[in-house]
Amino acid sequence: MSTRDEARAAPRAINGRAPDVFRRGEWVPMREHAEEEEVDFVVVGTGAGGAPLIARLAESGFSVVGMDAGPYFRPLEDFASDEREQEQLYWLDERICDGANPIVMGGKNSGQAVGGSTVHFAMVSLRFRPEWFKSRSALGYGADWPLDWREMWGYYQIAEQALSISGPVRYPWGPRRPRYPYRAHELNGAAELLARGAEALGMKWTATPLATVSAPHGRSPPCVYRGFCRFGCSTNAKQSQLVTFIPRALAAGAEIRDLAMVGRIEVGANGRVSGVHYHRDGRWRFQKARNVVVAGYAIETPRLLLASATDRYRQGLANSSGLVGKNLMTQSNQAVFGRMAQEVRWYKGPPSLAITEHWNYEDRKEFFGGYCWMAQGPLPVEWVTIQTSSRGLWGQALRDAMEHYIHQVGLKMVGEMLPDERNRVTLADEKDQYGLPIARITYSWGENDKALIQHALGQMQMSLEAVGATDIFRQEDDTNHLAGTARMGSDPSSSVVNADCRTWDIPNLWVCDGSVFPTTGGVNPSLTITSIALRTADRICALAARGEL
């Protein structure tokens, strides 16, 4: 059996214990709840949004069960140093993609594991530009968030501490922030070239704030620059949710159920939710709960809300606005690649060790939204995907192009795409292995999106030309990260949840993941998702204290 089959063969978090991710073959004790016991919270999904919420709620004394469709990995034992094998981290069940610019899923866009997509994310941990929380009123596009950036600044700081972010002493853009808890990582060749290019263009750059430690932390050793971060970190240097908030959650008395796929949220006669139907260990089960939080990310969250429709809520749960599944946003992830005379060997170290956010903070441009770009380090399978999809190469021409691998350099953007109700998640007729309708994901770029992408490609190309790269080509069609299918807002007719991530329609149903974003900004989303989850936990405690849960 390959490691991937082992972790998925049977649940591991059972019999009062869960895997100890820091010690081979060892366990940590885990509190367990009976299914007929009405727990305070069931949280569906244990990623960037779910895990911190589970931990903080448990630490505040609530009884919490976190469920995840994915396995409970033991990084030290399960994670092979291999790009292909580690596809085991992704959500690989079928989804159907259409629209003018179908989104590539699988490895590109979502994880399925305890710890969620943070088990394979690239660790880039950035704060939003303050104005993005008021994009509509401050910048003229998208929608305003019901959150205040100053409050978010406080939660970002808590998140950065909890994830031991390594970053620069002074961050060059935006309002002042404290120095990062761990010192910045050294640059690899690809990052040095980003820095030189940015300087040639008169732009600031910095070492990227990353969720991997540059010095020992607890039982995490410092990063050893193996470069397989997006395929699972086998040393635990990476501060994924699996090794940060999940252990905290267990220590505080939360229960985690791995390989537990939630298929339907049950609604009681009073119109409130009463628990979840989930599939684990070969059969369907039911867990009673006073509150249900959906944290399955921007595809699975709307899928579950839509699939839980009842006679009372025919359009799906929490969907009186009709917006569940709509306003799906991904981020433009185009890139420019070239070849250097020097050896770059970009496979060493975390892939994005340097960044420039210049165009996030510069408003003199002819489109809405912003973007940043980062250094790149694709491993061979990803690199051949880029060569074939961007250049149409195959045969001897492809072999020849691949031979320059260690001389390649690249810059990849993370760009803001605007919300559009036509970009959406719906239910297809086709069923998955549990008999649940699979998601159909429809996506087309708007004119603003295209203008932003072209601008970024031009800028990144200039940066590569400035460092003397040759044989430059563009990867025109890549996207990554998801947001927006259960947006937060201050008006029940134009949003699904309020600022506390509580659904407008059903007071004991919550959404806490990337789907609550009304706009997506020009930086990677997960630090913002985690910060919102930390705020939500505080808000739930405050509401509970006032008897308003």
CB nearer ligand SF4, residue 316 or residue 350:
350
The answer to whether residue 395 forms part of the interface with other proteins (CB under 8 A) is yes
Distance CA 315, CA 338 (A): 49
The beta-strand segments (E) located in 182-311 are: 182-183, 206-207, 255-257, 261-267, 273-280, 283-294
Task: Using CB under 6 A, pick the residue from 50, 247, 369, 489 that binds ligand FAD.
Answer: 50
Task: Using CB under 6 A, pick the residue from 63, 88, 110, 188 that binds ligand FAD.
Answer: 110
Nearest approach, Cβ of residue 338 and other proteins (Å) = 12
Six-digit token string for 245: 């908030």
Contacts with 433 (C-beta within 8 Å, 6 or more apart), sequence order = 93
Q: What is the largest CA-CA distance in the chain?
A: 70
Six-digit token string for 223: 């990063």
Using an 8 Å Cβ cutoff, are 230 and 349 in contact? Answer: no
The answer to whether residue 536 forms part of the interface with ligand FAD (CB under 6 A) is no
The answer to whether residue 477 forms part of the interface with other proteins (CB under 8 A) is no
Distance CA 364, CA 522 (A): 15
Name the residue among 249, 277, 282 with its Cα closest to residue 263. Answer: 277
Q: Which residue's CB comes closest to ligand FAD?
A: 47
Residues between 231 and 260 that touch other proteins (CB under 8 A): 234-235
The answer to whether residue 344 forms part of the interface with other proteins (CB under 8 A) is yes
Total residue length of the chain: 549
The answer to whether residue 160 forms part of the interface with ligand FAD (CB under 6 A) is no
Nearest approach, Cβ of residue 230 and ligand FAD (Å) = 5
Q: Which stretch binds ligand FAD (CB under 6 A): 64-72, 81-89, 181-189, 339-347?
A: 64-72
Nearest approach, Cβ of residue 299 and ligand FAD (Å) = 8
Nearest approach, Cβ of residue 298 and ligand FAD (Å) = 7
Distance CA 528, CA 111 (A): 18
Task: Using CB under 8 A, pick the residue from 152, 379, 425, 488 that binds other proteins.
Answer: 379
Q: Which stretch binds other proteins (CB under 8 A): 97-105, 263-271, 313-321, 499-507?
A: 97-105
Six-digit token string for 21: 């991710």
Q: Which stretch binds ligand FAD (CB under 6 A): 31-39, 113-121, 244-252, 315-323?
A: 113-121
Work out what residue 132 binds among other proteins, ligand FAD, ligand SF4, none; the CB cut-off runs from 5 to 8 Å by kind. Answer: none
Half-sphere exposure (CA, 13 Å, Cβ side) for 255?
Answer: 20
The answer to whether residue 329 forms part of the interface with ligand FAD (CB under 6 A) is no
Q: Which residue has the tokens 């995490």?
A: 220
Nearest approach, Cβ of residue 317 and ligand SF4 (Å) = 38
Q: Contact letters (x/-) for other proteins, 426-445, by CB under 8 A?
A: --------------xx----
Contacts with 282 (C-beta within 8 Å, 6 or more apart), sequence order = none
Distance CA 300, CA 95 (A): 10
Q: Which stretch binds other proteins (CB under 8 A): 288-296, 355-363, 385-393, 511-519?
A: 385-393
Using an 8 Å Cβ cutoff, are 21 and 242 in contact? Answer: yes
Tell how far CA 332 is from the center of its chain.
15
* Binding-site ranges for ligand SF4 (CB under 6 A): 212, 223-229, 233, 235, 237-238, 349-350
Helices (H), 258-379: 297-307
The answer to whether residue 37 forms part of the interface with other proteins (CB under 8 A) is no
Neighbours of 140 (CB within 10 A): 9
Task: Using CB under 8 A, pick the residue from 30, 54, 65, 105 that binds other proteins.
Answer: 105
Q: Contact letters (x/-) for ligand FAD, 458-497, by CB under 6 A?
A: ----------------------xx----------------
Torsion sign over Cα 141, 144, 150, 152: negative
Task: Using CB under 6 A, pick the residue from 195, 213, 304, 328 that binds ligand FAD.
Answer: 304
Using an 8 Å Cβ cutoff, are 224 and 405 in contact? Answer: no
Which residues form the interface with ligand FAD (CB under 6 A)? 44-50, 67-70, 108-113, 116-118, 120-124, 230, 260-262, 295-297, 300, 304, 480-481, 513-514, 524-527, 529
